[in-house]
């Protein structure tokens, strides 16, 4: 069992939901995000509900790259080992290119790709040293094809993360370090709650149960929830762009 689990972006959404699921399974948690207060409340709640676990929290902006390494190392010292690191922190700001929203698009690209790169680097330094661990990146179903409008840069950054994760997995072959990329479909989170188009969206609790179930199987890649997103993923690969763009 992977006992000690680090989750980034843990103050809300998928990170918070996964923390609840892993806590219920008896896992110790290292939680980090930009907002400290929600994590303080989550820590108190989880330790009260599950007195057999320990929950450590730290403030972290994943675009503060030196801080990423400092925080991950501090969590490793707290827990003795990091058995699983879930690179979950992300951003969904943005708009169609050329419409005056470069700064929002830049922030999304930097957070979702360069920030994820920093997290993967920090996690793998620790895992290489302890010669064990499971690195999990949270990409998106939008990574499978280019997306229009507000999802353009978001989808591109998640595609980059998916590709990078596959490269890491190739690098870690024949080692004790496992690498997984998870592609969630539409799960209700603060990032997408305002979206008018969110076909087949599931509630946060159900989505996080599916995420944790998939992660614990340690697959190379998983589309979550499996139904209908495995089928949707196949369709996205073969449908013309004119149709795909209407699906997202």
Helical packing angle, 102-109 and 152-171, nearest 10°: 20
Q: What is d(CA 169, CA 120) in angstroms, rounded to the nearest whole number?
A: 12
Q: What is d(CA 234, CA 212) in angstroms, rounded to the nearest whole number?
A: 23
**Helices assigned H by DSSP within the chain:** 13-24, 36-49, 65-79, 102-109, 115-130, 152-171, 204-216, 226-238, 241-247
Rg, Å, the chain Cα set: 17
Q: What is d(CA 29, CA 32) in angstroms, rounded to the nearest whole number?
A: 10
Bond from prior residue into 112 cis (ω within 30 degrees of 0): no
User: Annotated active-site positions, please?
Assistant: 154
Q: What is d(CA 63, CA 148) in angstroms, rounded to the nearest whole number?
A: 25
Bond from prior residue into 206 cis (ω within 30 degrees of 0): no
């Amino acid at each position: 069992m992977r006992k000690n689990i680090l989750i980034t972006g843990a103050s809300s959404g998928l990170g918070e939901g996964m923390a609840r699921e892993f806590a219920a399974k008896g896992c110790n948690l290292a939680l980090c995000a930009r907002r400290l207060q929600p994590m303080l409340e989550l820590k108190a709640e989880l330790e009260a509900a599950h007195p057999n676990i320990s929950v450590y929290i730290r403030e972290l902006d994943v675009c503060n790259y030196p801080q990423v390494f400092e925080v991950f190392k501090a969590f490793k010292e707290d827990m003795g080992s990091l058995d699983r690191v879930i690179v979950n922190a992300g951003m969904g700001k943005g708009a169609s290119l050329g419409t005056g929203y470069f700064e929002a698009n830049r922030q999304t690209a930097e957070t979702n790709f360069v920030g994820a790169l920093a997290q993967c680097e920090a996690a793998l330094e620790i895992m290489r040293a302890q010669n064990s661990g499971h690195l999990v990146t949270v990409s998106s179903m939008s990574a499978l094809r280019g997306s229009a409008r507000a999802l353009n840069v978001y989808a591109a950054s998640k595609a980059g993360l998916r590709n990078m994760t596959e490269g890491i997995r190739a690098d870690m072959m024949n080692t004790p370090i496992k690498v997984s990329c998870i592609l969630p479909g539409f799960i209700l989170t603060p990032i997408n709650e305002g979206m008018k188009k969110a076909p087949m969206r599931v509630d946060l609790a159900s989505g996080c149960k599916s995420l944790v179930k998939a992660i614990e199987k340690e697959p190379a890649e998983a589309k979550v929830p499996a139904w209908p997103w495995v089928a949707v993923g196949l369709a996205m690969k073969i449908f013309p762009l004119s149709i795909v763009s209407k699906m997202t």
